[in-house]
Amino acid sequence: MGKKKTTQKRRQQRRTLTDPVVQPIPGESLTSWIGALAAQQDFEMQPLLRELHLDRMGGLSGAEMRPPDPMARRLEKLTGIDTERLHAMTLARYAGNALPHLPFFSSDGVAVQQWHKGAWIHHSQARWCPKCLRDNTSRRWLLRWKLPWSFACVAHGVYLVTECQACWDIVRFRHDAPPARSCENWTDEGEWTNDLGQPCGFPLIMCRPVSVSDDSVLTLQTCVNAWLDGSPTHEDRQLVALAAVLIPLVSPSMVRRADPLLLYALRSPRGTSQRQ
């Protein structure tokens, strides 16, 4: 009898979303929007994922690939965000142009694993424009930042930041949470650590991006962005044709066989002189 009352009490304590829910910003990633939703609704992340049934996808990283239609319809019912806008926040929007076609069933672990190996995507490494994060107080992250095709922010004329500028290490996404506001790398050096073995804690919006000095870089990024959004101009047909050839043939692992000095300049924050 006591067990039954406890179960009923737990059911009564279950929370639901309240209107109005926070709206996604243009180009936002599903992970970022779910994080904003959790903050707005004062929800812990795990209970929110259970409420939205996103925990059945293996976390936010799985859901951001492409949620099944029943799950997307549930999200639409609970949040009022239509399925078209929801799918626009997932990597499925780039399937067939910037990314290879996604497996139809996300539960097929082998197919998903093969897709991850061939997809031109930063699976866990964060890349961002600090000025964009400053412009929106809720720190919303764009979906296209996950693609290697995105290298500069056209709006602010800067290159995307690829590492923390306090501990000089790569910033990584958590599996079941949106990007943190501060660097979570464990380090024993740098002015932003209070003690040995503490997280770095450097605010990501305080990173200083490198300004783009060549306008042709921003022109190219503008063309790439139009292609990613599915609206390339007639003049961009060469870019589209080249990408159609490259995507099926070239994998991210091929970069590992590139020139060591080039890789050092691109990846290492200490390779500033080579990078310039």
The upper half-sphere exposure of residue 223, i.e. CA atoms within 13 Å in the direction of its Cβ, equals 15
The pLDDT tens digits for 42-72 are 999 889 988 988 887 767 777 888 888 888 8
Q: Among candidates 214, 213, 234, which has minimal Cα distance to 223?
A: 234
Stretch 242-269: mean pLDDT: 50
The pLDDT tens digits for 213-250 are 989 889 889 988 888 887 777 777 666 666 665 555 55
The whole-model pTM stands at 0.77
Report how far residue 144's alpha carbon sits from residue 97's, in angstroms, rounded to the nearest whole number. Answer: 13
* DSSP bridge partners of 203: 182
* DSSP bridge partners of 182: 203
The pLDDT tens digits for 7-52 are 554 544 667 888 899 999 999 999 999 999 999 999 998 899 889 8
Task: Please provide residue 198's backbone torsions phi and psi, each rounded to the nearest 5 degrees.
Answer: -105, 155
pLDDT at residue 54 in the model: 86
pLDDT at residue 105 in the model: 59
pLDDT at residue 6 in the model: 53
pLDDT at residue 65 in the model: 83
Report how far residue 274's alpha carbon sits from residue 276's, in angstroms, rounded to the nearest whole number. Answer: 5
The pLDDT tens digits for 191-220 are 555 555 678 889 999 999 999 998 988 988
The pLDDT tens digits for 124-179 are 788 899 999 988 666 899 999 988 888 899 999 999 998 898 888 888 887 777 77
